[in-house]
Structure 1
Amino acid sequence: MNLVNLESVSHSYGPKPLLKDVSLGIEAGDRIGVVGRNGGGKTTLISVIAGHLKPNEGRVTHNRGLHVGTLSQGDDLDPARSVAEIVLGDRPEHEWAGDAGIREILANLLGDIDLTAPARSLSGGERRRTALARLLIEEHDLIILDEPTNHLDIEAIDWLARHLSARRTALVVVTHDRWFLDAVSTRTWEVVDGAVERYEGGYAAYVLAKAERARIAAASEARRQNLMRKEIAWLRRGPPARTSKPKFRIDAAQALIADEPPPRESVELVKFAAARLGRTVYDLEDVTLHAGGPDQGPLVLDRCTWQFGPGDRIGLIGVNGSGKSSLLRLLSGTVQPDSGKVVRGRTVRLAHLSQELGELDPSRRVLETVEEIRKFVQVGKKEWTASALLERLGFKGEAQWKVVGDLSGGERRRLQLLRLLMDDPNVLLLDEPTNDLDIETLNELEDLLDGWPGTLILVSHDRYFLERVADRCVALLGDGKLSMLPGGVDEYLQRRASGAALSARAASGSGAPSPAAPSGAAASAAPAAEAGPGLSAKEERELRKELSRLERQLDKLAGREAKLHDSMAAAAADYGRLAELDAELKAVRAEKDDIETAWMELADRLGE
């Protein structure tokens, strides 16, 4: 059934048209992800679809009785009303409390929010979750979401993706979160130059299809240029002999990436990083840290010892409020530990991108603001000018001469990140660098960071960006430790779900009221956690011994790996020796992977 039709729709603000003669339709069951550059017309398009904006030209028709639910970027909440009043309205308690679907939404989005609190007391993230919960508890024929993952942590994003996938409602979503796009959408619309280009599949399929379109366009242009040269030659020489025309075929998606090298040459970058940084970057020695100062606020680290080495690319994961930003501030020297010691390498040249961006002079021009740091910078093997880097991150042509005070939040974030990179740091601490960045800019930023040698510690809820840029993940799970995650974000979600299931069983066993049953990943993890234990005390002791032995082996292998990196840096000019060391490093990493797999299997048996 057709729900919405757009016929020859055009709309503009000022001289530049955001939508130009756009015709498209949405049918029941469609799941559409909308992508495009910031300011390119995505929000305008969904506002027209929802009926909130009347286009300058064209016609928009809705199916009779269509019920549309929308989530805008600005959460419109009455500051005087409580969270419960906003989300549940006039529903009596027995009605919503007896509805499993509503309980699931409340538990996953508002579980840590006081439902009696007024909206004026909520943080930005809490306001976002409240608006999302209000939308999701209603029944709709079409749901339209504008940046629904803003301010949500990885667990909430994972739950939201599963929840939306399970609904039969038609869906249109604008988001820069590429993992989320792949998880919820089956079609992709790209808003570009006033048109809407349509692709089948989620984000991954869209990337391949767009690359194929670009390849065909390039081949067509090459053929046109070739024919023009032949025409000119014919005009100069007279009628030539007949020649056969070149034939082009559409290669399969695999052919597009067959000769593509890995995103980055890790060994070479680590070797370069070790040469610039030496052996020590950051060593945490028996560190205790609270988020609000000594013995104040949540405990982040409890007598923790950890080492960040040259060339490490680490993604830091945890729920909102777990202390990720506090840990970055500890490494940057902004805060001091309650106890213990933080050893910082003597050659560390730090750049810290915090969520509270540093001050930019609003009267300066964009290019001047970057060039006052440096006019040229070396990224990997290539030297970049300030202007060339600005162009890569979306400041093209006249945009480089805009006044800083006229920039949007996303543009200011890009500008601040560029200023940090121009200062030629060898250690980067990035706290939510993807906020307000569109997909094209994210792709350019990832490509830029691929060639950047140094130590990178990243906090982000953008799962795609996190897995793309970081080589390994570390979690703050609320136990005062930094926990290695060999399985990345998937392992983090499993461990969090297992912990929730164990806590629920413990609460039930002690006679405490049982909370709402966990849903999605948590629900699926619960039976596994129940079946896993059933171990005798002796079996558990033996397993824990084996676990400790594997952890000691992992520590030794990590030490061997660090020594091999040092040896490779020292033997940079001896290619024969470098090849031997590289082979040994690969063997160490393979052994490490096997031991990590064994460790994870044991941890699962113990329910950890």
Structure 2
Amino acid sequence: THDRYFLDNVAGWILELDRGQGIPYEGNYSGWLEAKSNRLAQESKQQSAHEKAMKEELEWVRKGAKARQAKSKARLQRFEELQSQEFQKRSETNEIYIPAGPRLGDKVIDFHNVTKGYGDRVLIDDLSFSMPKGAIVGVIGGNGAGKSTLFRMIMGKEQPDSGSIEIGDTVQVACVDQSRDDLDGSKSVWEAVSDGADMIRIGNYEVPSRTYVGRFNFKGGDQQKFVKDLSGGERGRLHLALTLKEGANVLLLDEPSNDLDVETLRSLEEALLDFPGAAIVISHDRWFLDRVATHILSYEDDGSIVFFEGNYTEYEADRKKRLGDAASQPHRVKYKKLAQ
């Protein structure tokens, strides 16, 4: 599994596969992260972008819940710094770099009493929230609850049954959805991203195309693989590379952690934390949401939708406070029936 939250809470041993070797470690994910960092230091390796990202994650683990909450709030307060050109230049050293789009105004995305149903079920009922311009909103809920419908309405592909959605005048949206069908199987990975050009424009900068593709863990000969021969995880990374080069200022990411290995996930987390825009992320990856989310939009078991300021752990603590013992019990999701 790539589910680090699960590994941290359940695993008694970690077996790491590294350069053809199996390296066992007794303990959970956080303990393994500490041991791995020490092992790399002992090997006196030159620090790569992956190792830098891993150390960032380890520092986050060590800080504890209060410091994590402070970092989440600090991201919103640092929005002006994140917008600066100098910060963008520093960001280019990361393994994955998400280019900044145009400067965001105060209005990003506002939902006003939005209701949406399918068949005889109400999926979204009277939803209202305003997205802050520096926010990363994690969307959680069961399969079929209506999370992807939320994205389709933001993109204008579907309309609410009632209520309205306001998109700010400065907003430019890029969406990474779960579909990988729009990729051209006859091209190589490098050709799909670069269109054969040695230099490509990423946001406000021109970068060597092979360097950019390499940031998504396509190294050496992997860049010459045909798209039709890629695994699910490789197609996911390619889709991510193609979408992120657009230079949007609001990202919609639908299950970005699906099929991605832990190293790429870690790089994506660091890139999102440095991204000078806003994002809405549908995810079941609790570790991912703990690291990046400033807000949670939760599809609850009773059919309601809660907009909460904080990361996943803080949301869970609030949910248990609200619901008491019922919060720990499994429930079948209840949907309202559409009025005839």
Residue pairs, 1:48-447, within 5 angstroms: 175-218=1-44, 266-269=76-79, 272=83, 276-290=103-117, 292=118, 296-372=119-195, 375-378=200-203, 385-447=208-270
CA 216–189 in structure 1, closer or farther in 2 if over 3 Å, else same: same
Match of 2:328 in 1: 521
| Paired letter, 1:427 | V
> Does the CA contact (< 8 Å) of 2:293 and 2:311 recur in 1?
no
SS in 1 for 2:103: helix
CA 478–444 in structure 1, closer or farther in 2 if over 3 Å, else same: same
> Does the CA contact (< 8 Å) of 1:270 and 1:311 recur in 2?
no
Verify: 1:459 aligned to 2:282, yes or no. yes
Return 5+ residue gaps in structure 2 as ranges.
47-57, 84-99, 331-340
Structure 2 distance, partners of 1:497, 1:334, is 37
Return 5+ residue gaps in structure 1 as ranges.
1-174, 222-252, 503-519, 524-608
| Paired letter, 2:217 | G
| Paired letter, 2:329 | A
Larger Rg: 1
Structure 2 distance, partners of 1:402, 1:392, is 16
CA 333–410 in structure 1, closer or farther in 2 if over 3 Å, else same: same
> Does the CA contact (< 8 Å) of 2:139 and 2:296 recur in 1?
yes
Match of 1:555 in 2: none
Q: CA deviation digits over 1:548-578, x for unaligned, max 9?
A: xxxxxxxxxxxxxxxxxxxxxxxxxxxxxxx
> Cα offset for 1:484?
2.8
| Paired letter, 1:215 | A
SS in 2 for 1:330: helix
| Paired letter, 1:208 | E
Structure 2 distance, partners of 1:398, 1:300, is 45
| Paired letter, 2:296 | C
> Cα offset for 1:183?
0.9
> Does the CA contact (< 8 Å) of 1:270 and 1:310 recur in 2?
no
Structure 2 distance, partners of 1:179, 1:384, is 35
SS in 2 for 1:276: coil
Structure 2 distance, partners of 1:306, 1:257, is 33
Structure 2 distance, partners of 1:281, 1:201, is 43
Structure 2 distance, partners of 1:265, 1:495, is 24
SS in 2 for 1:277: coil
> Does the CA contact (< 8 Å) of 1:274 and 1:311 recur in 2?
no
**Structure richer in helix, relative to its length:** 1
> Does the CA contact (< 8 Å) of 2:200 and 2:208 recur in 1?
yes
Match of 1:73 in 2: none
TM-score by length of 1: 0.44
Structure 2 distance, partners of 1:421, 1:399, is 20
> Does the CA contact (< 8 Å) of 2:108 and 2:132 recur in 1?
yes
Structure 1 distance, partners of 2:169, 2:242, is 23
> Does the CA contact (< 8 Å) of 1:314 and 1:470 recur in 2?
yes
SS in 2 for 1:443: helix
Structure 2 distance, partners of 1:284, 1:331, is 9
> Cα offset for 1:320?
1.9
> Cα offset for 1:313?
0.7
SS in 2 for 1:347: coil
| Paired letter, 1:375 | I
> Does the CA contact (< 8 Å) of 1:300 and 1:478 recur in 2?
no
> Does the CA contact (< 8 Å) of 2:200 and 2:206 recur in 1?
no
SS in 2 for 1:375: strand
Verify: 1:474 aligned to 2:300, yes or no. no
Structure 2 distance, partners of 1:274, 1:311, is 13
> Does the CA contact (< 8 Å) of 1:378 and 1:384 recur in 2?
no
> Cα offset for 1:469?
1.6
Percentage identity across paired residues of the two chains: 37
Q: 1:495 aligns with which of 319, 331, 334?
A: 319
| Paired letter, 1:191 | L
User: How many pairs align?
Assistant: 292
> Cα offset for 1:363?
0.5
Structure 1 distance, partners of 2:169, 2:12, is 51
